[in-house]
Amino acid sequence: MSLWMTRLSQPPGKRHTMVEKVTVTVDALQALLDQLKGRGYRVIGPTVRDQTIVYDEIDSLAELPRGWTDEQEGGHYRLVRREDDALFGFAVGPHSWKKFLHAPIVELWKVVRNGEDVSIVAESPPDQRFAFIGVRACELHAIAIQDRVLLGGQYPDSHYRARREGAFFVAINCGEAGGTCFCQSMNTGPAVESGYDISLTEIVTESGRSFVTEAGSEAGLQVLAALPRRPAMDEEIAQAKAVISRTAAAMGRQMRSDDLRELLERNLDHPRWDDVAKRCLTCGNCTMVCPTCFCTSVEDSSDLAGETASRSRRWDSCFTMDFSYIHGGSVRASARSRYRQWMTHKLAFWVDQFGTSGCVGCGRCITWCPVGIDITEEVRAIRDSGSTEG
């Protein structure tokens, strides 16, 4: 306790260097949700719906997918009962937090006419702040990547910024590697390292399920200070570490990632693109479930009388024909070119554009591809063909 007091007396905003861990019970986790709600946050967490684990508004721990896990493979996702009652014993589902931060549909502005006077009125983003419960390491990395895309340039996106700035992140160290997970290969997990306010590691103690917990920000510290807790015991800390190593060792997929930029750039005409084109349905599922895919399009509309007009923005996908349409036709008409665009952007050209890979190894694109196209397998096929060009 005294340690906490010491730290709370530090000036706000100062980053604490010492890692202090406390242990909280499942009940304390409910208190966390209540705390966040009480502070005005809209609390979003994982919950079961339509036989999948999705992210939605939650009020109580009872809504978490307790005792469930997800069986994931290429083109395959099934919820199955766990043998225990773990609260976070699953990997990631079809949703990602971009649904909330980089919303699928955003109203941008409308034109208001007052006689001869015409003006443009910006649509404001919602002013409620989000608190996200159960954010994975790969997802924190995905958010950091979208931060670079949408906030890092000359023109920060005001809607993303409004949703992002006040958000509160309760991260969870993964206790279960999904069948399509490969964060270990992308250096984005399974341990959460930064970008969270509070992190949790689920462990089993004598008193049942508990969480080894750390604050990662001043806001996190304050929230944590209001929860029932005790200093974490050494063995609990060791158990938490073991959880992470076990997960790291159980990755469903692997992909060498240190040379992807060069590998793909010199193989832009590789026959493998034709091969994948035979399987790819260009449905765009991979782009919808990807936590970093950021592409959008805009739509203008007006009322029938032409008195008002407005513009909205919605997620778009590089797999559509319209995406690359220029006067006369689409630049990327073939499935081959559209898959190549998606993958080379994600793994190679993203580095040129934003100084980071666009892939966090969450495996969603593999799981939710209706024909089970596996990005790790496609990279391997190109690599193993022993490209002589480079």
Residue ranges in contact with another protein by CB under 8 A: 108-109, 111, 118-120, 122, 149-150, 153-158, 161, 265, 268-269, 294-298, 300-302, 306, 309, 311, 313, 316, 318, 323-329, 331-334, 336-337, 341, 345, 348-349, 352-353
Please identify, using beta-carbon distances, which residue of 11 and 328 lies nearer to another protein: 328
Phi-psi region of 38 (alpha: psi -120 to 50; beta: other; left: phi over 0): alpha
Please identify, using beta-carbon distances, which residue of 48 and 309 lies nearer to another protein: 309
Q: Taking Cα atoms as reference points, which of 91, 265, 258, 235 lies closest to residue 176?
A: 91
Minimal distance, residue 352 CB to another protein, in Å: 4
Please identify, using beta-carbon distances, which residue of 4 and 349 lies nearer to another protein: 349
Minimal distance, residue 295 CB to another protein, in Å: 3
Distance CA 252, CA 166 (A): 34
Minimal distance, residue 129 CB to another protein, in Å: 17
Please identify, using beta-carbon distances, which residue of 29 and 375 lies nearer to another protein: 375
Minimal distance, residue 297 CB to another protein, in Å: 5
23-46: string of b/e by CB count within 10 Å (b at 16+)? Answer: bbbbebbebbbebbeeeebbbbbb
For the chain, what percentages of helix, strand and coil (3-state, to nearest 5) are there? 35, 25, 40
Minimal distance, residue 172 CB to another protein, in Å: 30
* Tokens standing for residue 280: 């790819």
Please identify, using beta-carbon distances, which residue of 21 and 102 lies nearer to another protein: 102
Please identify, using beta-carbon distances, which residue of 75 and 125 lies nearer to another protein: 125
Distance CA 8, CA 81 (A): 41
φ/ψ of 192, rounded to 5, equals -80, 135
Determine contact, residues 132/100, Cβ cutoff 8 Å: yes
Minimal distance, residue 158 CB to another protein, in Å: 5
